[in-house]
Amino acid sequence: MARIVLKIDVDTLRGTREGVPNLARIFDRYKARATFLFSLGPDHTGWALRRVFRPGFLKKVSRTSVVEHYGVKQLMYGVLLPGPDIGVRAAAEMRAIHEAGFECGIHTWDHVYWQDNVRNREPDWTAREMNKSHERFARIFGTAPVTHGAAGWQMNEAAFEQIDAWGMQYASDGRGHSPYRPVVRGRTLNHVQMPTTLPTLDEVLGVDGVDIDNVAAWLLKRTEHNPHDQVFTLHAELEGQKLAPVFEQLLAGWRAQGHTFATMGDYHAALDPDSLPSYPVTWGEIAGRSGQLIVQPD
């Protein structure tokens, strides 16, 4: 059938230490290839509580049981507790995943800080934040990162240009329907964007009767008899912990449907970048997620 590209966003210290190894064990059982994207600086998860006044945020929190998935201590980082440096505290766990053969890349430096600020910040700010993550990645892994996947699907024009400046050939920084080359300030960039195409579990849980018991079946209907490659984003804090049984149902279902599992690098290697369409960087809304994010035009 088609490829399911498995892209794991790792947002927190707990997700890195607990969720990532859990997912690696699951992937080993299913012989699944996947890409882990790491948050490499401070964990300020508690700062996200400031989003309480944003439209749709409280509704999403109530649906996805944030305290249950992240834990009370995690939600205090940056509020009542200092934000631990993930790249210092969990470097060994990150290296272990790379050594186990999984593709690794950059998610962000400071997840909440990036997600809440990047859209309206200047190029100098953007370059500083991105280069901190690039330098930390190289220090941890001993090699330059090959890919990037933005926190919260939040970017700005300078951020897309920075991916080209690093020489990365592919990234997954937004939502959409198929691979493309982004257009920024009237110029088509060199790298390929491979957007997340499938809804995430936290976007559909609690909506229209979808719950933890039927969400896997709901999502599998989206890929049944579907010949198109898909990019699925999961989170170490969710599918790597409380939602792990649901995720295993998905993997088993996708395998039964005849799909194969791929890294972002595998997916890019199968593409002809010169034949891909170009789209301008745009913003839009996604059902089940609060606020706007990077979206590929239809």
pLDDT over threshold 70, residue 286: yes
253 vs 49, more confident:
253
Position 46 scores a pLDDT of: 65
| pLDDT grade for 222, boundaries at 50, 70 and 90 | very high
**pLDDT more than 70, % of the chain:** 88
| pLDDT grade for 68, boundaries at 50, 70 and 90 | low
pLDDT over threshold 90, residue 61: no
Listed residue (8, 10, 2, 6) closest to 32, CA to CA: 6
Alpha-carbon distances of 251 from 190, 217, 244, rounded to whole Å: 33, 11, 10
Write the pLDDT tens digit of every residue in 88-144. Answer: 999 999 999 999 999 999 999 999 999 999 999 999 999 999 999 999 999 999 999
Helix (H, G, I), strand (E, B) or coil at 30: coil
Q: How far apart are CA 116 and CA 108, in angstroms?
A: 12
Exposure string of 68-93, with b = 16+ CB inside 10 Å and e = fewer, is: ebbbeebbebbeeeebbbbbeebbeb
pLDDT over threshold 90, residue 65: no
DSSP of 160-177: HHHHHHHT-SEE--SB-S
Write the pLDDT tens digit of every residue in 12-23. Answer: 999 999 999 999
Q: Per-residue pLDDT averaged across 74-89, rounded?
A: 69
Q: With beta carbons less than 8 A apart as the criterion, state whether 171 and 149 touch.
A: yes
Position 1 scores a pLDDT of: 73
Q: Per-residue pLDDT averaged across 276-284, rounded?
A: 97
Q: Per-residue pLDDT averaged across 29-37, rounded?
A: 98
pLDDT over threshold 60, residue 54: no
CATH of the domain at 124: 3.20.20.370
Beta-strand pair 260-262/3-10: parallel
How many domains does one find in the chain? Answer: 1
Q: What is the overall mean pLDDT for the chain? A: 91
Helix (H, G, I), strand (E, B) or coil at 234: strand
Listed residue (76, 70, 73) closest to 49, CA to CA: 76
pTM higher than the cut 0.75: yes
pLDDT over threshold 50, residue 245: yes
Listed residue (240, 38, 44, 43) closest to 141, CA to CA: 38
Question: How buried is residue 264: exposed, middle or buried, by Cβ count under 10 Å (0-12/13-18/19+)?
Answer: buried
Reduced DSSP (H G I as helix, E B as strand, rest coil) percent helix, strand, coil of the chain, to 5: 45, 20, 35
Domain that holds residue 263: 3-295
Q: How far apart are CA 111 and CA 97, in angstroms?
A: 20
Q: With beta carbons less than 8 A apart as the criterion, state whether 37 and 10 touch.
A: yes
Position 67 scores a pLDDT of: 47
